[in-house]
Amino acid sequence: MPEAGKANVIALHPTNEQIVYVGGIQNGGGAICRSSDGGTSWTRLGKGVFTNPVVALALDPLTPSRLYAASDDGVFRSEDSGASWTRVLESAMTAVAVDPAVPGRLYAAGKEGVRRSADFGASWTDFNRGLSVKEVGALQVAKGTGTLVASTLGGSLYQVRPGSHRVLVLSASAGGTTTPAPGTYRRAAGTSVTITATPDASHEFSGWSGDASGTANPLTVRLARDLAVRAEFEPILYAPLDFAGTKKVNRSLMFVEYINVLTWRRNPANDPALPYNLYAIEGATPRLIARLGSATVEFQERGLARDKAYTYRLVVVDPATGREGPPATVTVR
């Protein structure tokens, strides 16, 4: 607060941590103050609007410039970050909460229970089904499911879902997207939803995770319960180009050494940051002889036999998963 007063409640901007609102009492009347610099300085808002202490604040996460405040004077709404206020409910209220996913839906509560609005506070209906203790002290709406949680002054918690619906949360890993787009969707219970995974040009769809599995694409899910489904994508891996090898001799007066010199080119279809694994093929089991950086295009294996043939396998590696691409193979004699 910029002057002496008592803060009852704090509300944070959903995307800008420097913007903070506090509500309470100041100079004998209700007050709301805003800081745009993380609390270093404050501006009082709506002076003269609130007769009684402000006891609840809620920002609309879909439109952060929209702010709701509750007190014994009722519920007030601001569309301009608190510069001006309109009373939308005259009953004394102790709590207010905004549904983070449904535009216009908010709740207010006090000694007579919970009320709900579907039109930004223009009209209200009672929302007390299952609420045996109606004197409510705090409200919160769960993101995704829309479940309303009410804390009563008797010490009990109540949960109420606003309708007969289920929630589908769609997400996608890097490298692709889904149709419908990643996000949170509410549908009537039992609704079937078809989801299509679409990789970008350098990735491929590898399967579903969360509450779905397998590689069926499109995928149809039935919302008998809340579901979270994620589309997984992975980079397409290609074999290195022009993998070749030559045997060279390093001679001195007292020493002869045979060296296999392996060379290749990076496949431009691969991500340039992909490293390599180099294997020696001896019988049925490849033996890893080197892990090489993405910029490497030559490797030398030293101390070899003169008349023995050596077979090598070179693959690119996805470092996030350890998955290897198709091999390039060469035999050096």
DSSP for 200-248 reads -TTEEEEEEEES--S--SSEEEE-SS-EEEEEEEEE---PPEEEEEEEE
Fold of 5-160: Methylamine Dehydrogenase; Chain H (2.130.10)
Could you tell me which of 208, 213, 223 has the C-alpha nearest to residue 171?
A: 208
Residues 271/202, Cβ–Cβ less than 8 Å: yes
For residues 21 and 30, is the Cβ–Cβ distance under 8 A?
A: no
Closest by CA position to 96, among listed 133, 143, 150, 35: 150
User: Do the beta carbons of residue 159 and residue 130 sit within 8 Å?
Assistant: no
pLDDT at position 163 is 64
Q: C-alpha angle with apex 11: 8 to 13, nearest 5 degrees?
A: 165
Q: Give the residue extent of every domain in the chain.
A: 5-160, 165-235, 241-332
160 and 130 in contact (C-beta within 8 Å)? yes
- The fold of the 241-332 domain, in CATH, is Immunoglobulin-like (2.60.40)
Phi, psi of 226 (to 5 degrees): -65, 140
For the entire predicted model, the pTM comes to 0.53
Predicted local confidence at residue 137, as pLDDT? 86
pLDDT in tens for each of the 333 residues of the chain?
555 568 889 999 989 999 999 999 888 789 999 999 999 999 999 888 999 999 999 999 889 999 999 999 999 999 999 999 999 999 999 999 998 878 888 999 998 889 999 899 999 998 887 777 788 989 998 876 778 888 888 767 887 766 667 788 899 999 999 999 999 888 888 899 999 999 998 899 999 999 999 999 999 999 987 788 999 999 999 999 999 999 999 888 788 999 999 999 999 999 899 999 999 998 888 999 999 999 999 999 999 999 999 999 999 999 988 999 999 999 999
With CA atoms as reference, report the closest residue to 233 among 272, 203, 269, 273: 203
Q: What is the pLDDT of residue 252?
A: 80
Q: Which of 159, 222, 233 is nearest to 191 (CA)?
A: 222
Q: How far is the CA of 118 from the CAs of 107, 121, 122, 133, in angstroms?
A: 9, 7, 8, 24
Identify the pLDDT of residue 2: 54
Rounded Cα gap, residues 195 and 179, in angstroms: 6
Q: Are 333 and 244 in contact (CB under 8 A)?
A: no
Taking the alpha carbons at both ends of the chain, their separation in whole angstroms is 82
